[in-house]
Amino acid sequence: MKINQAKKIKGVWELDHVHTLKKPLVLVFGDRFLLEDPSIYGEVRKMYPHGELVFGSTSGEILGEEVLDDTITVTAIEFAKTSYHIVSRNFMDYENIEDMGRAISKEFDKEGLRHLFVVSDGSFVNGSGLIEGLEADDDFTSSITGGLCGDGARFEKTLASHNENPKQGEVVSIGFYGSSLEVSYANYGGWTPFGPERTITRSVGNVLYEIDGQPALDLYKTYLGEKAAELPQAALLYPLRVQQSEDSQALVRTILNIDEEQNSMILAGDVPVNSKVQLMMSTMDDIANGACTAAKQAMEGRNKSPELALLVSCVGRKLVLAGRVEEEVEEVVDIVGQQAKVTGFYSYGEMAPFTGSKACQLHNQTMTLTLMSE
């Protein structure tokens, strides 16, 4: 596996040692405003004329041990024995997200499919529904990881694309094939529930209307107090713990937006009726320790040291860590090793199975790792 990395800061490209790559997979993560520049696709295409280019907007870029803002990062990977296939579809072309997930899944030859990495629009797409569609067919047995694109803490719009200028509504799925590819993954949060446990009494998909029979947004604003004026950004510091049943593992849900007229909250993933819900909070140390735990879990049972580490972490974690944000990435690098090239982004949602499972889930407020080697 050969890997090139580059970054664009204040309009200037900085490249590391450049290998000659034949047909690389090129991952381009960057600030939404920079990706809206109509020249950006041409710039990256000039660097990698034979590459397959995948773009995604972020709430912060990860490259090596750095966490960057207002930049574009590029990681180009040439596999020695692994092949890959990319499918891109737009949410605007489908009646619902599950149908789009099914359509994407059908485009992949399931035989030999080792792993699917997804870079998805984070504004329109319900991540839970996307995963449900991708995994709907009985013959789909691959693991899935990835993330929902970000837009800083603005929540205005997100962008993604494959071999074209980034645009809204796009979902890009990268399927990896080959027995020589070793993939491991894990995710962990570090958030603690507090306050009373309540019950979701009215919701539709990822839209939460009522908790304990009360308007969800009104109740949430009561807890936030003065910080309610800063919604939806303030919600990143106080996500929701959602547990569908006593036997299921709890998921963390971030509020992506609010609807004052409907008194509702739009979350990154499903919030089923009758689920138990509770507020959560965290500290800087808890966040950093959570990233360390995720890295340890991702390294368990590996046969070979990872050559590539794809990190997707939640924008809410970044806001909690503030000036110490690089600490969680440093924790990961300490565990996975300096030999791994690290890239990734801060997101509006993370995709990965729970430890010990292959069924993917949509998470919020976690550090999610995908480790690869040949």
Question: How is the chain split into domains, by residue range?
Answer: 2-188+285-373, 192-280
Confidence band (pLDDT; 50, 70, 90) for 21? confident
Beta strand pairing call for 308-314 and 341-347: parallel
Q: Which residue has the higher pLDDT, 238 or 116?
A: 116
Give yes or no for a contact between 285 and 321, defined as CB atoms under 8 angstroms apart.
no
| Residue written as token pair 């999610």 | 368
Flag whether pLDDT at 17 surpasses 80. no
Confidence band (pLDDT; 50, 70, 90) for 19? low
Flag whether pLDDT at 148 surpasses 90. yes
Q: pTM for this one?
A: 0.91
| Residue written as token pair 């689920």 | 275
Residue 230 has a pLDDT of: 87
Question: What's the average model confidence in pLDDT over 210-238?
Answer: 90
Question: What's the average model confidence in pLDDT over 103-114?
Answer: 95
Q: Give CA–CA dist 34/166, Å, rounded.
A: 10
Mean pLDDT of the chain: 94
Residue 257 has a pLDDT of: 87
Flag whether pLDDT at 193 surpasses 90. yes
Q: What percent of the chain has pLDDT over 90?
A: 87
List the one residue out of 179, 191, 174 whose CA is nearest residue 85: 174
Angle between helices 127-134 and 97-106 (to 10 degrees): 40
Residue 18 has a pLDDT of: 64
One-letter amino acid of 14: E
Measure the CA angle with vertex 35, ends 31 and 37; round to 5°.
130
pLDDT (tens digit, 9 = 90+) per residue, 173-184? 999 999 999 999
Q: Which residue has the higher pLDDT, 336 or 153?
A: 336
Q: What is the DSSP letter of 251?
A: E
Flag whether pLDDT at 131 surpasses 70. yes
Give yes or no for a contact between 178 and 186, defined as CB atoms under 8 angstroms apart.
no
Q: Which residue has the higher pLDDT, 20 or 50?
A: 50
Q: What percent of the chain has pLDDT over 70?
A: 99
